[in-house]
Every structure is written in structure tokens, then in C-alpha cells.
Structure 1
Amino acid sequence: MKKYIVAVLFAATLLSYSQEKSTSNLWASDRPDGHAPISIMGDHTHHKGEFMFSYRSMFMNMNDLTQGNKDSNISAVHSNYMVAPKNMDMTMHMLGAMYAPSDKLTFMVMANYIENDMTLIMRNGMKFSTNSEGFGDVTISGLYNLFNKNRKAMHAQLGLIIPTGSIDKTDVTPMSAGNTVQLPYPMQTGSGSFGAKFGLTFLGQQDKFSWGNQFTSVIMLNDNDQDYKMGNSYALNNWIAAQAGKNLSVSFRLEGALINKINGTSPLLNSMMVSTADTRNSGGIYVNTGFGLNYLVRRGSLKGFRLAEEISAPVYKDLNGVQLRTNYNLIVGAQYAFH
């Protein structure tokens, strides 16, 4: 089933290439629909000498349990583990910067700060919560323009993930006798491993709307100092944005993502204690939809300043093992580009 989902999304990407008529114009980013939805990173490049700074705030809510593509429950998890997760909230603050030393090449750096809160239930019905926060991993990328003609453009991305985030976050639990213990994988703020990021983005425009297709992959390169590495991930995004005035655009996005299981096991975690400490309950396939708004200031002292938001939710999932289900993601952000 997973292969069929990926094939359908890939076909949707290919079909979009034939939906425009050639003109003599270049694809342009200086219009409200000239950027992808705010959830998409590395969607555009810049002209020589241009800078852009960005800030994004993402809130993700996870609630209820899923096993494979079916609903599960706390009782089912308690049949195999002493503790089951009930819900989780994650807030991520993302800072980004882009600079183009030439028309062909744009450099990009992304850093983030993460806050995690999880509520869990023991077999005896007792509820408790764990918390963690800290800086995440940093990504440095180069975006290289392949072409820009006939109001279509394509660029490639090559990036390095630097493990600046922590994999040593701890907290007190009812079973730890007042001592802090290692928190499971979803509660860590980093991967502990170097990674390579590869991407390819295609963009197209008409007079009143734009669209794009982006494939990205993240390949983890080494085991961290706890003898595991996060699963590789692959994502295919397709979006269309239509102008709703001189300064505003609305967008719709369809995403398919495949995330592999965690490879290896941390010796600091007991996989029989809680389901989130068992690497068999990690990764899966996801299909998400998103709706966004993008507002661009086109005149005056704030020319080049954008405000954007997107809310997304899953429409299909097939998860490995038993995991919390994502209810929605909300991202708001601001971008400012200047010469």
C-alpha cells in the first residue's frame, strides 16, 4: 500500500509539468504567490547580493493512538508496556537566513528551538507528564539554480545536518524515585547524528497563480553516541497558490512522506517500560493536506516583508507499531527579503 501511495503522489507531480503554456517570461518570487506555503523550506532562490531572514513558529498536537492505519487505545498499549502515551504537544521556533553570492547559488541556514510536553498513563491509571526543551539540529544548505525560463524554474538542494541538538534530555517520572531518567526518542531535541539533505524543486507560474513540486530526502550518516540513528526520511510536496488581491494569496498543499524506523537502540532506555522507548514504534507513511495564506508588502519601507500561515492535517497514515496520531500542525511565520 505504501508503494502505491508514493506512486500516486509522484504521478501528480509529473502531471503538473504539462499544465502551463510557455511564455517568454521568467518565474518570479516578488508576488504574493511567489513563495511556497510557509511549511516548505528551500522553495526558492535569490538574485546575486540578496539576503532574506525568516522566523517560523510551529505548533503540533498529537492525541490518541494509532497502530498501522487503524485506531488503537491505551488498554492495548498497556498489554505490552507499563506506560502508554496519551498526548503530546510540540512547539518549534525556527530561524532562517538566505544569501545569494551569485544568481546561480543561494546559501541557506536553519536553526530551531524545541519545546516538548507529553502526558502519559500508567497501568494503574495514574497520569503524569514529562517535558523537555532546547536547541535542535542546524541545517546548512546550498541551492543551485538549474534553469529559469518560460515562467518555470528548477533548483537543486544539497545540505548538511549538524547535530547541535541534545539526545540526553531527562526528567523525573513516578518510577524514578525522584531521580531524573533518560527520556524516550520523541522527547529529545536533536538526532545526535550528522545527516545529508537532498532536494529538487520545480516551480511554475501563470498570471494569477503559481504551483510547485518539491522532493526532499534526509539520510542520516552515522550512529550517535547512544548507538542509534534516526530513520531516513523522504517527502514529496505538491502545492498551488492563487492570488486573492495585489498582496494576498491562498494555497493548498498535498504532502506524502515516508520515514524509516529508528536504527539501533539507546542503552539508556528500557523498551518494555513505555511504547515511545521501543524503536519498533517509529516511522511510517503519511499523507497530509495543508491550507495557507501568504501576505506580501510590495511598496514602501517594508517592501519584501511577508506574513504567512498554514494549517495542515493528515488524511492518511500507516504507522510502524503503535504511535500517537498527529491531529494538526499550525505554522505562522515572517520573511523579509532585501538587497
Structure 2
Amino acid sequence: MKNNILALALLLMSAGLVAQKSNENNNSTWTAARPDGHAPISVMGDHVHHKGEWMFSYKFMKMNMQDLKYGNNEISTSDVLEDYMVSPEEMSMKMHMLGAMYAPSDNLTLMAMASVISNDMDLVTRMGEGFSTASSGFGDLKISGLYRLFNLNRQSMHAQLGISLPTGSIDEKDVTPASAPNEMILPYPMQIGSGTFDGEGGLTYLIQGNFISFGSQFKALIRFDENDNGYRFGNRYQLENWISGKLISSLSISARLQGLIVEEIEGTHPDLNAMMVPAANIANSGGKYINTGLGVNLYVPSGALQNVRLAMEYAFPLYQDLNGVQLENGNTLTLGAQYSFH
């Protein structure tokens, strides 16, 4: 596993050097008007637009979580049931995202992202009874501004500053064997929103060669205060690095490497029993992750569908060190369509 991580890191570093080398004698600006001109579809806020330009996007993401871990060690359901009344077995999250971007100037791009989320979790009790819970609804609304710092020698850098508005529900309930026929509050991972106003900041660097593009992005999501239910989710810090290679004028492929740190939940929901199920115990939240993804990006440079992009990325974990007992993240599939115009 360590060799795989090192190989991917070296690949991305080498690609950046190749892209830099190809730029040495080229004084043109970085451009999005090529298939590798955007980051992999799972990366948000990766580019700015020219004055008066609009972009609308739709993305669909599905992530699966399965197998139990304590830290970075695998454990069994029976191990969990020694300490808890209920153990999770697997969980899936589906997210539909609608985005809009508009540039009032060449240096400033405004961005908004709304989402609809559905969660499903399968669990089992100490008595061997299996059951499922589900939640769905609108997620938190994200609004931000991207400010270009420079764009020259086919290199570009921009900063991002935004806010996440608590439009998603934090009161999702469902029926369980312990509560039937009544509903009870669902654990933290099954809630749709954060319930807090959150600040987001980031910095993105892009560089292009004749056939290869490289990007690096750092982002931080900071929770400002506890929500109405007495807790707040942990802060998130992530570093994305990607390389995209242009195969033909309308098609590129990409590889991405992500490092992610998620802090523990602070505070507790008064109606959640921390000894019922691991997901209701804040000690079992957050962790450190290294993920990778492989993607395809189709761009239409001319004709009736000019400036339409279709993209796909398949991502999977390389390393996970989870706080306490949690389901480990599995594979993630992201599909997207984007359209830009003046």
C-alpha cells in the first residue's frame, strides 16, 4: 500500500515538472478551452471565468461505505456488538448537485452550489435482527467567490472565500427496532446538513503544457459554532493534486491524489445514546484519508454543443486512519455535465 501511495505521489510530481518544462518558452495564458482545462469532475472551484461568462453544471455522486475499522485496523461486527447494541454494516450516500458560476469581471467569479442528498444505512442488532434507516432532502447551500491572483505563462492561481448556509436538515428520523412503531433521531452521519454557518477558504494553482495540465488545490472548511442540537461537525482540510492529459482536441484523462483530514464532532445531541450504535458516539467521527481517482473529460470545442463538458471520475481510498469505530469509505463514482456561455 505504501508503495502505491509513493508511486502515485511521484507520478503527480513528475507530471508537474513535465508541464512546467513545456511552458518555459510559452508566454500565453492558461485556458479552460481544452478538454484538460478543468480539474477532475469531483474537484470544486477549480477555475475562474472571463467577464460576462456563465456556467451551469449538474453532478451526481455516489459513495459506498462498508467494512468496519477501528483506527486503521479492520474489526468484525461481533467485535462492535460487544460494546454497542447495534452495529452498522454498510452505508451509501447519493448526492445530486446543481451549480452556477458567473463572472462580473475577469478577476472575480461568483459560484453557488445546491444539493439533494439521500443516505441509506444497513444495521444489525445484538439479537441478529437486520434493519435499515434512510434520510433524504436538500443539503447545505454553498456560496463563494473566486478571485484570480494571476494568469500568465500558462500558469494561473486564484483564491476562494465562501460560506455554507445551513439549509440541510439536522432533525432526520426513522423507525428502528428499539423505537418501533415510533421514529427516533438518526445518528450524525445520517443527517443531511451541518446546522451551522461554515466558512470555506482555498487556494488553487494551475499550469498547462501543450498536452498536459497540472493542478493543486488546498481547501479548509471551518465550523463557526454549534448548531441548534448542541453539536458541530469537525473542520475539514483537504489537498488535491491532479494531472490531466489531452488525448485529442476533445478528450482528456486524469489522475487525482487527495489528502483529507476531518476533525471529530464537538458537542453531543441530547437525544442520541452514544452506547446504542457507534455512529451516535462522537468519539467515532473524523479521521485521516488518502484517496485517488481516475477520470475522463469530454469537451466540445465547436458546433451546436460548443462549450459542453461531460465528465466522469472513479475514486477509491488508498489509506484511512479513522477515529474510533467507523465504516470505512469505499469507492466513489462522480458524473457531471457543464455548459458555459457569454
- TM-score, scaled to structure 1: 0.95
Q: 2:20 is matched with which residue?
A: 20
Q: 1:104 to 1:150 in 2, by over 3 A?
A: same
Secondary structure of the residue aligned to 2:203 is strand
2:187 is aligned with 1:184: yes
Question: In the TM superposition, what whole-angstrom CA distance separates every residue of 1:283-302 from its partner, at most 9, and x where no partner exists?
Answer: 00000010000000111121
Q: 1:229 is matched with which residue?
A: 232
Q: 1:254 to 1:324 in 2, by over 3 A?
A: same
Distance apart, 1:72 and its partner CA = 1.1
Determine the C-alpha separation between the residues in 2 that align with 1:73 and 1:42.
Answer: 39
Q: 1:59 is matched with which residue?
A: 62
1:145 paired residue among 148, 153, 161: 148
Determine the C-alpha separation between the residues in 1 that align with 2:304 and 2:151.
Answer: 29
Q: 2:138 is matched with which residue?
A: 135
Q: 1:265 is matched with which residue?
A: 268
Question: In the TM superposition, what whole-angstrom CA distance separates every residue of 1:148-179 from its partner, at most 9, and x where no partner exists?
Answer: 00000000000001000000000000110300
Determine the C-alpha separation between the residues in 2 that align with 1:222 and 1:273.
Answer: 26
Secondary structure of the residue aligned to 1:20 is helix
Taking only aligned residues, the RMSD between alpha carbons, in angstroms, comes to 1.7
Q: 1:94 is matched with which residue?
A: 97
Determine the C-alpha separation between the residues in 1 that align with 2:72 and 2:87.
Answer: 18
Q: 2:169 is matched with which residue?
A: 166
Which amino acid is the alignment partner of residue 243 of structure 2?
I
Equivalenced residue count is: 332
Q: 1:312 to 1:112 in 2, by over 3 A?
A: same
Q: 2:254 is matched with which residue?
A: 251
Which amino acid is the alignment partner of residue 126 of structure 2?
R
Distance apart, 1:218 and its partner CA = 0.1
Q: 1:313 is matched with which residue?
A: 316
Distance apart, 1:18 and its partner CA = 8.6
2:225 is aligned with 1:217: no
Determine the C-alpha separation between the residues in 2 that align with 1:171 and 1:269.
Answer: 13
Question: In the TM superposition, what whole-angstrom CA distance separates every residue of 1:201-230 from its partner, at most 9, and x where no partner exists?
Answer: 000000001010000000000100011000
Question: Would you say the 8 A contact 1:13–1:213 is kept in 2?
Answer: no
Determine the C-alpha separation between the residues in 1 that align with 2:41 and 2:15.
Answer: 24
Determine the C-alpha separation between the residues in 2 that align with 1:332 and 1:74.
Answer: 33
Consecutive aligned runs of 4 or more in structure 1 exceeding 6 Å deviation: 12-15
2:252 is aligned with 1:286: no
- TM-score, scaled to structure 2: 0.94
Q: 1:299 is matched with which residue?
A: 302
Determine the C-alpha separation between the residues in 2 that align with 1:168 and 1:240.
Answer: 40
Secondary structure of the residue aligned to 1:81 is coil
Question: In the TM superposition, what whole-angstrom CA distance separates every residue of 1:254-291 from its partner, at most 9, and x where no partner exists?
Answer: 00000000011000111110110000000000000100
Mean alpha-carbon deviation: is it higher for 67-76 or for 49-58? 67-76
Between the aligned residues of both structures, percent identity stands at: 55
Which amino acid is the alignment partner of residue 277 of structure 2?
V
Distance apart, 1:97 and its partner CA = 0.3
Gap regions ≥5 residues in structure 1: none
Distance apart, 1:126 and its partner CA = 0.6
Distance apart, 1:16 and its partner CA = 3.8
Distance apart, 1:325 and its partner CA = 1.1
Secondary structure of the residue aligned to 2:179 is coil
